[in-house]
Amino acid sequence: MTTEPDALRTLARTHLPADLAARWTGLLRPAAHLRPAGAADPVVGRLGGLPRLPEGTDWPVWEGRGPLGFVAELDCAALPGEELDIPLPADGRLAFFYYGDEDDDALVDTADPDTWAGARVLHLPPASADAPVRPAPPGLTPYPELPLTVHMAPSAPDFDLPALTAACGEDAFPDAFERAIWDHQSGVAHQIGGHAQAVQGAVEIVVAHGALGGRDVSWEDPRLEEEAGRWVLLAQFDSDEDVDMMWGDCGALYWLIRPDDLAAGRFEKAMFTWQCC
Q: Which residues contact 201 (CB under 8 A, 6 or more apart)?
A: 158, 160, 275
Mean pLDDT of all residues belonging to the chain: 93
Determine the length of the chain: 277
Domains of the chain in start order, with CATH, are: 7-275 (2.30.320.10)
What's residue 4's pLDDT?
A: 58
pLDDT of 262 strictly over 80: yes
- pTM to 2 decimals? 0.94
Question: Exposed e or buried b for every residue in 51-88, given b needs 16+ CB within 10 A?
Answer: bbbeeeeebbbbeeebbbbbbbbbbbebbebeebebbb
What's residue 219's pLDDT?
A: 93
201-219 per-position pLDDT tens digit: 899 999 999 999 998 999 9
44-70 per-position pLDDT tens digit: 999 999 999 999 999 999 999 999 999
